[in-house]
Every structure is written in structure tokens, then in C-alpha cells.
Amino acid sequence: MNYFYLGPDDVPPSTPVDDALQRNLDQAVTRYFYESCDRLTQRVLSRGGWYLTTCGTALTLVVICADRRQNWEVLKYLPSLAKYLKEFAPTTNIRIYPPPGDGTSLEMRFKLPAMSR
């Protein structure tokens, strides 16, 4: 059953086992995503905090920028990041948090076109 279409009251409660499986999935996807990136994209990611999450209906890359320079580099690499993310899921999000005091976060959604039959 696909629980994404049910309301929060209609979904069974999560258990500690569910939470552990979710963490393991997130860690595995994070490792494979990083390894699939080219060297320059890995370098951009390594300069700051980032993680992947599979909660919800899309794979989401969250990048936390420590300074304006890193924020600018991440923005320049958005197409590259989206390309690598699309290898793992048809619908992906990238959420970028700027340095503290430099505005609000930016979230972009990328969706592969539906295959024609």
C-alpha cells in the first residue's frame, strides 16, 4: 500500500524498527550518491554540511552553507547536483540553507518527464 496518499491520521504509527530502517536507507543512498558524483561536485559538497533524506514523496538533498562563497558554489553546481540525484529517484528536491543572517532557504524540485508508451 502506498501511504503517501493517506492522511496523517490514516497512516499506521512508525516503530523504532521503521525509524532504524529509514536511517539505514538514508545512509546508504547518501553514500552511493556521493560516490556517483564527479570529483568537483564531491569537493563542493565536502566544504559544508549536507545530507540526503528519503522521507516524503521525493529524495531531498539538504545543503547547509557556512558562508556566502560556499552558497554561491552550491548554486553554481545545482545542475550537476540535480543530474546525479535523478539517477536515484524520478522526483528530487534540493534545499539550500544560506549562512545565518543571509536570507531564507531555497528549495527546487526536479522531476523526470513521464516515459511515453
Q: Looking at residue 102, which CATH number applies to its domain?
A: 3.30.70
Q: For residue 109, which phi and psi values (nearest 5 degrees)? A: -110, 135
Q: What is the DSSP string of 50-68?
A: EEEE--TTSEEEEEE-SSH
Those residues whose C-beta lies under 8 Å from the C-beta of residue 16, and which sit 6 or more positions away, are: none
Residue 116 lies inside a defined structural domain of this protein: no
100, part of any domain: yes
Distance CA 82, CA 94 (A): 8
Distance in angstroms (rounded) separating the CA atoms of residues 84 and 29: 12
Residue 50: inside a domain, yes or no?
A: yes
Q: For position 58, what pLDDT does the model report?
A: 83
Q: 5 in a domain, yes or no?
A: no
Whether residue 4 is contained in a domain is answered as no
Residue 96, domain member (yes or no): yes
**Separation CA 39–CA 110 (nearest Å):** 22
Within-domain flag for 92: yes
Residue spans of beta strands (DSSP E) within the chain: 49-53, 59-64, 91-97, 106-111
Please tell me the total count of domains within the chain.
Answer: 1
H or E element: which one contains 9? none
Residue 3 in domain: no
From first to last of the 117 residues of the chain, give the pLDDT tens digit: 444 455 656 666 667 777 788 888 888 889 999 999 999 999 999 988 999 988 777 899 999 999 999 999 999 999 999 999 999 888 899 999 998 888 899 999 988 776 544
Give residue 63's domain range.
17-110
